[in-house]
Structure 1
Amino acid sequence: MGKKRAQVRQVRQQIRKVQPKSGAPTSAGQTRRQREQFVQAGGMLQGYAPDLVVRIGYYAIGIAVVCLLIIAAILIFVPPIYGWPDAVAASIAWVLPIALLASFIAPGFRLALKDRKAEGRLVQGQLVGASSVSTSMGLGMLMVQTRGGVEQFLVPPARLKQVPGNQVNVVLTVTPNLRHVRSVGVMGQRVVGRVEPAVPPVMKRLQQLPVITPVALALAAVIGDDAVALSPIPNQLIHASLAILVGAALGAAVYGISFFLQRRMMTEVQAMVPKG
């Protein structure tokens, strides 16, 4: 009996010596998986109404068609004047807007077409928090404690007016793909009114940056590339190479400035969060 107690005591001492493992840093595979999940959920268009996303998709298709027509015009009219190398260099820049539209709009457009005819699913849980501001332009945020854990939903601010400040049960109708919240229902008494703080200007700029960046990047690359490609430079190969380099340099400069501004804005936003 005494020997058994000694063994139990030894096991307990070993258990006490075991230290909890520190959380492993996010690996490249996890980051890639998160990016894929973000794109599969609609990317930047997640949370918006399917009809709006479809309308944006049609506008994007129209812009892509215009870019293709410009490429065709360049390949027809520029070679007799400057040669084929310059024509190809000038037309390459117009592929960038098409690629940006495809990467930002296409995932959400595809899901929006499915959500237009799909029935919304019901999500029920306890309200954790709500805000009329999020990182997506024109959308607020709602956090709900469900059986699967805390879920975040991007919600139009108009549907958050009825959400109180106290913990109540809420019922959401959400589209299955874009996760657009069609309706918000509150179950229980609305005891405490929700106070919305003033939106800081940096938050508004942070919302606009993901929209401004691809537009500015495409404009910088197109203007820089075509301005050099249509300039009278004698050597065709040097002319074409210089056009591509200038366009790429301007595009990279815009991306770098955007990245710097985003980090600076995120630092300002984090500084506003009260520290416990």
Structure 2
Amino acid sequence: MGKKQVRQQMRQIKPKAAASNTAGATRKQRERFVQAGGMLQGYSPDQVVRFGYISIAIAVVCVLIIAACLLFLPPSYGWPDAVAASIAWIFPIALLASFVGPGFRLALKDRKAEPRIVQGQLVGASSVSTSMGLGMLMVQTRGGTEQFLVPPARLKQVPGNQVNVILTITPHLHHVKSVGVMGQRMVGRVEPPVPTVMKRLQLIPVITPLALAAGAVIGDDAVALAPIQPSALHAALAVLVGAALAGGVYAVSFFLQRRWMEQVQALVPRT
């Protein structure tokens, strides 16, 4: 009886441990994704720095709009409505800081850092990936199979047969600066047509932040400028509407991304 009870307890504990390991692996993947620049991973440091400067300019405009709301709206609408109208413009700044900020810091480091060399056997290559304007290269190294986001122009010399390749990449953003092929290029690489669903997936990281910011600002400010009394309830309602619109946009984006990812996975041949 004692042995049976021990076996039953072990069977009950195993699923919990597996779930814990899965959650830990997912968390580590997210951390590595952010550490490598997030959505800006694979892009050149100069390009990411330009994105950063544009984001800073947009943030300055948002700050000026916040100041204008706090300066001109209180005489007509009162302080609660003015504060509610200005809060919405903090959201675009937060989005820019979370999406562009990590990559911008890494790009500044990559400008000064020496690139590193990665050598291994070519596993596969594609001129398209889920990142807009970047292809993908899979290389078998000593540490295992690694994937790199590569500008499509640098994939033209990559053949279809298995050869050794040498990549020069930046240490932080993992931008592939050059691709060298070692060995004879025997088989030309055939590029299949890009599925429509892949093009849609590439737009998700760009459209989602814009739609989130637009939903929050339009919903908040439209209600904040409407003639609703009392003022405190008016301000709270404006913030709630802005948050609800942003949440709705996020839910739709999450649903579409999940659905399109399933369609992309269905296109992968089964082995």
TM-score by length of structure 1 reads 0.90
Deviations 1:103-140 (A, max 9, x none): 00010000001111221111111111111111111100
Residue of structure 2 aligned with 1:28, choices 23, 27, 36: 23
- Cα displacement (A) at 1:86: 0.6
Cα shift readout 1:223-247 (whole Å, capped 9, x = no counterpart): 0100000111121011001101110
Indicate the residue corresponding to 1:110 in structure 2: 105
1:46-86 Cα offsets, whole Å, 9 max, x none, are 00000000000000000000000000100111111111111
1:120 aligned to 98, 115, 123, which one? Answer: 115
SS at match of 1:141: strand
Q: What is the rounded CA distance, in whole Å, between the counterparts of 2:29 and 2:51 in structure 1?
A: 25
Partner residue, 2:189 = 194
Q: Within the alignment, does 1:37 sit opposite 2:35 as a pair?
A: no
Q: Structure 1 runs of 4+ off > 2 angstroms?
A: 21-33
- Once residues 189 and 127 of structure 1 are traced to their aligned partners in structure 2, the CA distance between those partners, rounded to angstroms, is 13
Shift of 1:149: 1.2
Q: 1:160 aligns with which of 140, 155, 160?
A: 155
Structure-2 separation of matches of 1:237 and 1:271 = 51
Gaps of 5+ in 1: 1-20
SS in 2 for 1:219: helix
- Aligned residue number for residue 251 of structure 1: 246
TM-score (norm 2): 0.92
Asked if 1:228 corresponds to 2:188, the answer is no
Matched, 1:242 2:252: no
Alignment root-mean-square deviation, CA: 1.4
Q: Percent identity?
A: 77
Count residues in correspondence: 256
Is 1:83 the counterpart of 2:73? The answer is no
1:134 aligns to 2:129 (yes or no):
yes
Aligned twin of 2:8: none
Q: Which amino acid aligns with 2:228?
A: I
Secondary structure at 1:153 match in 2: strand
Distance 2:261 2:162 in 1: 29
Q: Which has the larger radius of gyration?
A: 1
Distance apart, 1:270 and its partner CA:
1.5
Q: Which residue of 1 aligns with 2:5?
A: none
Determine helix, strand or coil for the equivalent of 1:87: helix
